[in-house]
Amino acid sequence: MAQILDPLPSDSSKQILCCYVNATSKIQVARITNVPDWYFERVVFPGQRLMFETVSKALLEIHTGMMASAILSDTVPCERLAIEQADLMVEESLLPGGSSGMNGGHPVAATVSPTS
């Protein structure tokens, strides 16, 4: 999976494919800041599934939006969000129409959601 805007540094250790689902009713910002020479930040809407590649030591910070600010609501080791390419292919084959990534508006992948 290509990261178009900010590719991982070429000297990165083992890369893993990860999936995070925003299981809340609030907009979240997913951020990785502990990988040298790389910055990752994405907005994740309620019910949205975010798939990304990173290094196994990365920590995904989840910031939950409030009125005019966001609070750090969870930090998840990316190893806990790792999925296998084969799992992704099986998921997509089960969906009507192939590879929409969602099943009736509900995420298909089992992932970790924030505790708050």
Domain chopping of the chain, boundaries: 15-107
pLDDT at 91: 57
Q: Which of 10-14, 38-42, 92-96 has the lowest mean pLDDT?
A: 92-96
**CA torsion through residues 4, 60, 31, 11, sign:** negative
Query: How does residue 111 score in pLDDT terms, banded at 50, 70 and 90?
Result: very low
Output the CA angle 56-57-63, nearest 5 degrees: 105
pLDDT at 101: 43
C-alpha dist (Å) from residue 22 to 4, 10, 111: 22, 29, 9
pLDDT at 100: 43
Output the CA angle 38-1-82, nearest 5 degrees: 80
Tell the residue number behind the tokens 């805007």, with chain if given. 5
pTM above 0.75, yes or no: no
Continuous segment of H or E residues that includes residue 89: helix 85-94
